[in-house]
Amino acid sequence: MNRYQDPPGPSTTFLDYSKQETYQLANPSVCGEDGAGGCPDAAESDLACTSACLWGPETVITGQGYNSSDSDFRGFIALDIRDFTTVNGSGDPVHEYYNGANGAQNQNQLKDLQASYMEEGYPGPNLVPYIPASNPVQKSLQIATMAGNSSGVLVTEFDKWYDPGQKILVQFFDGQVREIPDFTINAPSVISAASPSGPVDGPTFRVGANQKFRSSLDWVDLQMVRDEFDGGAGNDTPTALHDFTFDPDGFTPAGGSGTQVEIEQLEIDGGLASGIYSVIIEGIGYQPPNPGGSSLATHRAWVPLNVGGVTRDFSMDFAATTVEVGLGDPATFTFTLTTGASGSAWGTSAVSIAVDRGACAVGNIEVVPVTGTALCAVATVSTSSDYVPKKNSPPTVTVAIPGGLAQGTYTLVLRGRGTNSDGQPVVHVQPLTLAVGTSAGGSTKYVNVQGYGVFIITSVDTNVVRGRAISASFADPADPALKLARRAGLLPWEVAPY
């Protein structure tokens, strides 16, 4: 599971889930990544944690609301696919496969295999101790991720064998879902500013890369891009926002947790209404010589721009933002519109949902293949006057795409927008991935296991499991301090019953 909120810290929004929540809330901007700041480790307290609580902050262990650099990763990994460093003579990855995994299974087949370990225990081989600051992380601790989560496959199975109050062993990673042979942008969860303000320094974030990318001395160039859509007919980046810059910009990402990047020259003119807008952080990878080499890949991260401290917000909680279908089969994306309580509650106005159409005619949508030019397609977004975000029993939205696309992997961009009860405009943008007649990129995404800890389960709902740390993070899964959670066997994301 992701060890951090908004790394690298220290910052007012940073949290280390293996450190005590009470201390972190009382001392903001003290704790940082990798134990910076000397914040006290989480520890056991009374069962309800009501007196002198030493637990870490509550977080999502798996399911909807899980947070990492990849919005489609919900904490479910494939222990049977490891090693994302070794390559053959052609430069293609050579993974370690176990227990019948062979790289040919699709996501659902892998989920079924991993979910079977929930009851039976993992047959091995077990994970090894993490060597702190290793670069790259040991090959056997580079573990494949799987897209999305299925309540029928994962959370339902979890609910059969685990209950709130039980203690489980979890494995930590730094929040970056890496991809080969490429780089990743672990963008900030939000950029906050006022109108007018600046120029000032903005939030920090990290850019990481696979060992192959780094060893080739490939280069990442970052730039701010205004969030134009529908062929330029719309723009969710306010003109009052000046183009900001990055420090560093133009670099080969460092090993380990990557290169820390700071947004600079963040400036907004006066007169902009308070609201949540959108801006894009774009990274382009280049081969040497740098600069001037040929481009390798382009990655975009849509980041909310919160102007004026807006608190009444909504979120689009997807069952999965990556969907795999057979050739000729239709595809459906499903999500709920949720909101918070009290001062963060949305209000009573409905949210509108649309898929970007690019340069396509009105009524169509734009789908962008991994390689090649954008195509036009058809999509049906369910409609209702009751698309009002709710904390309890939130409305469900579906986006249906009929069959007919050629084999390949495509990206489409979905937007939700509305006005909260304070009269403030809010927009959220979510890229979606559709794999037709193929796996969505195969086994190319992975996480680096960088420690182990004990969590107590606080709730198990239909689509989400939550918990809180009651131990520090340890490098060795066999450390005696982790016996708080006895293992019957290694399970899919390193969990076992108390």
CATH of residue 386: 2.60.40.10
289-315 pLDDT, tens digit per residue, is 877 788 888 999 999 999 999 999 999
| Cα gap 212→217, rounded to integer Å | 9
- Are residues 296 and 391 both part of a single domain? no
DSSP string, 420-433: -TTS-EEEEEEEEE
User: What mean pLDDT comes out for the span 392-417?
Assistant: 93
Range of the domain at 251: 183-307
End-to-end CA distance of the chain: 18
Tell me which residue of 227, 169, 182 sits closest to 209, measured CA to CA.
Answer: 182
Q: Which of 240-244, 370-374, 383-387, 444-448 has the highest mean pLDDT?
A: 240-244
Q: Which residues of 479-491 are buried (b: 16+ CB within 10 A; e: fewer)?
A: eeebebbebeebb
User: pTM to 2 decimals?
Assistant: 0.77
- Are residues 187 and 173 both part of a single domain? no
Distance of CA 178 to the CA centre of its chain: 11
Q: How confident is the model at residue 384 (pLDDT cuts 50, 70, 90)?
A: confident
Residue 47, pLDDT score = 65
Residue 430 pLDDT more than 80? yes
Assess if residue 493 is contained within a domain.
Answer: no
Assess if residue 496 is contained within a domain.
Answer: no
Residue 344 DSSP class = G
- Are residues 450 and 387 both part of a single domain? no
Residue 213, pLDDT score = 83
Q: How confident is the model at residue 487 (pLDDT cuts 50, 70, 90)?
A: very low
User: What mean pLDDT comes out for the span 456-483?
Assistant: 90
Assess if residue 497 is contained within a domain.
Answer: no
- Are residues 221 and 158 both part of a single domain? no
Report which residue type is found at 110.
L
- Are residues 230 and 293 both part of a single domain? yes
- Are residues 427 and 318 both part of a single domain? yes
**Could you tell me what percentage of the chain is helix, strand and coil, using 3-state DSSP and rounding each to the nearest 5?**
10, 40, 50
Residue 139 DSSP class = G
Residues of the chain above pLDDT 70, percent: 93
Residue 358, pLDDT score = 94
- Are residues 63 and 160 both part of a single domain? yes
Report which residue type is found at 381.
V
Residue position matching structure tokens 């906050």: 192
User: What mean pLDDT comes out for the span 338-355?
Assistant: 95
| Cα gap 382→320, rounded to integer Å | 17
Task: Pick the last residue of a domain from 261, 284, 307.
Answer: 307
- Are residues 37 and 120 both part of a single domain? yes
- Are residues 148 and 237 both part of a single domain? no
Task: Pick the last residue of a domain from 250, 278, 307.
Answer: 307
- Are residues 70 and 20 both part of a single domain? yes
Look at 324 and 37; give whichever has higher pLDDT.
Answer: 37
Residue 154 DSSP class = I
* Beta-carbon contacts of residue 480 (< 8 Å; ≥ 6 apart): none
User: What mean pLDDT comes out for the span 233-237?
Assistant: 96
Assess if residue 17 is contained within a domain.
Answer: yes
Strand spans (E) along 340-483 = 352-355, 365-369, 375-377, 380-381, 396-401, 408-419, 425-436, 445-448, 452-460, 464-469
- Are residues 404 and 343 both part of a single domain? yes
Strand spans (E) along 17-164 = 59-63, 73-82, 96-97, 142-147
Residue 381, pLDDT score = 94
Task: Pick the last residue of a domain from 307, 328, 358.
Answer: 307
36-88 pLDDT, tens digit per residue, is 999 999 998 876 777 789 999 999 988 777 888 777 787 878 889 999 888 77
User: What mean pLDDT comes out for the span 159-175?
Assistant: 87
Residue 484, pLDDT score = 75
- Label the pairing between strands 445-448 and 142-147: antiparallel
Assess if residue 23 is contained within a domain.
Answer: yes
Enter the tokens of residue 175: 């929040």
Q: How many CB atoms lie within 10 A of CB 339?
A: 20
- Are residues 417 and 459 both part of a single domain? no
Residue 97, phi then psi, degrees to nearest 5: -115, 145
Assess if residue 494 is contained within a domain.
Answer: no
Strand spans (E) along 67-190 = 73-82, 96-97, 142-147, 167-171, 178-179, 183-186
Assess if residue 469 is contained within a domain.
Answer: yes
Q: How confident is the model at residue 491 (pLDDT cuts 50, 70, 90)?
A: very low
| Cα gap 402→359, rounded to integer Å | 20
Assess if residue 82 is contained within a domain.
Answer: yes
Q: How many domains does the chain have?
A: 3
Residue pair 70/187 in contact (Cβ under 8 Å)? The answer is no
Whether omega for the bond prior to residue 395 falls within 30 degrees of 0, making it cis, is no
Distances from the Cα of 45 to the Cα of 351, 455, 468, 471, 474, angstroms: 42, 12, 11, 10, 19
The chain-wide mean pLDDT, for the chain, equals 87
